[in-house]
Structure 1
Amino acid sequence: MPTRSAAVLASGTANAAKLFVAALAFTSAYVGLSAYGNASSATEPAHTITLAARELPVTAPVQTSTAAAETGQISVSILAGGEAGCAKSYLVRSVLTAEGPEQSVSYGWRLARWSTATKTWRTYLVKYDGFAGGSETVEWRPQVSGNPGWYRVELQAGDAKVIKSDRFQVSC
């Protein structure tokens, strides 16, 4: 029996040695190929990209003066001395009246942007506020930054009907 065990042991050792040599050869080839790829890689030539922007003409300008506020109406005016570029600040005003002198009024502004993809008005900015009793001129100063398109302002006080402004175009 000792001869059979010795033969199996010698055969197993030979197989292990072959596997070790094969693994060493594979590792050497991988390292050599990686080094060759890194050494022979030259920098790619630079690609010139030209960016173009198109100007959208203002077809429905927003008033530049501060418009008077009225009940049931929303006035939108652009603030003079706004940000440079496409950042524009607006003054939005309306008049709200409480049902009684001791009643409070909760209201919400919504700046909506026209989506050409869905053909709907989508919310761009919102603001909620309120006051107690009487009548008040409420105002909001939203800012549109770098997003040209058609906009409108909506105002809802409590459960009353939503008041919508005329649409206006923001362009850069």
Structure 2
Amino acid sequence: MKVPTRSAAVLTSGTANAAKLLVAALAFTGAYAGFTAYGNATSTARPATSITLSAQELPVKAPVQQLAAPATAGRLTLSVMTGGGPGCAKTYAARTLITDPGFYRWRLVRWSPADKSWRTYLSDHDGFGTGGRAAEWRPRISGNPGWYRVELTADGGRTVRSDRFQVSC
């Protein structure tokens, strides 16, 4: 009588594991194929449904924006955009004409009664402007009443300021 060796036991258990994995893989593949075939066999084309779309034309009651006079060099013109939003939210359009090429920066400043000075509220580095180009910035003020003005500072340090304006809610 022959005694089984350790390597024979390992070989037998490895073969058994491989056989179990093969059976599991075949079962999974069969289930997937059956499910796919079932899904294709039972799916029928849906009947076509016609949809009728309708639109109604409404007249424009007010222009989208009300811009001030055309931009002029050395002067900032300011206007309020229509449809600012709920409550105190308003968007303003500040425009000017850039005469010298260079970088420029916009600032919205607010009057501080405590300090009796203008303090920066918003700022934007708009970039490089070429001579004869109109520049426009649209700052938005929401829920902060007070006195404001817009400033545009060019590369050379020259600052153009708008007239002051009051925001109230």
TM-score range, shorter chain: 0.5 to 0.7
- Which residue is equivalent to 2:137? 140
- Which residue is equivalent to 2:162? 165
What is the CA–CA distance in structure 2 between the aligned matches of 1:106 and 1:131, rounded to whole Å? 4
Q: Is the 8 A contact 2:98 2:129 kept in 1?
A: no
Please state if 1:156 is matched with 2:157: no
Higher relative contact order (CA 8 A, sep 6+): 1
- Which residue is equivalent to 2:54? none
| Structure 2 unmatched ranges of 5 or more | 1-64
Alignment of 1:109-128 (within 5 A): 109-128=106-125
Structure 2 letter corresponding to 1:146: G
What is the CA–CA distance in structure 2 between the aligned matches of 1:95 and 1:87, rounded to whole Å? 27
- Which residue is equivalent to 2:97? 95
What is the CA–CA distance in structure 2 between the aligned matches of 1:74 and 1:132, rounded to whole Å? 15
Structure 2 letter corresponding to 1:66: L
Q: Is the 8 A contact 2:104 2:129 kept in 1?
A: no
How far has the Cα of 1:65 moved from its partner?
3.1
TM, length-normalised to structure 1: 0.57
Structure 1 letter corresponding to 2:81: L
| Structure 1 unmatched ranges of 5 or more | 1-63, 99-103
Alignment of 1:50-61 (within 5 A): none
What is the CA–CA distance in structure 2 between the aligned matches of 1:130 and 1:105, rounded to whole Å? 8
What is the CA–CA distance in structure 2 between the aligned matches of 1:106 and 1:152, rounded to whole Å? 21
What is the CA–CA distance in structure 2 between the aligned matches of 1:155 and 1:132, rounded to whole Å? 12
How far has the Cα of 1:132 moved from its partner?
5.2
- Which residue is equivalent to 2:42? none
- Which residue is equivalent to 1:75? 77
TM, length-normalised to structure 2: 0.58
Among candidates 85, 88, 103, match of residue 106 of structure 1? 103
How far has the Cα of 1:134 moved from its partner?
3.3
Aligned length: 104
CA offset digits 1:17-63 (Å, max 9, x no partner) = xxxxxxxxxxxxxxxxxxxxxxxxxxxxxxxxxxxxxxxxxxxxxxx
What is the CA–CA distance in structure 1 between the aligned matches of 2:120 and 2:79, rounded to whole Å? 19
What is the CA–CA distance in structure 2 between the aligned matches of 1:94 and 1:106, rounded to whole Å? 14
CA offset digits 1:75-113 (Å, max 9, x no partner) = 110001111211110011000023xxxxx4100011000
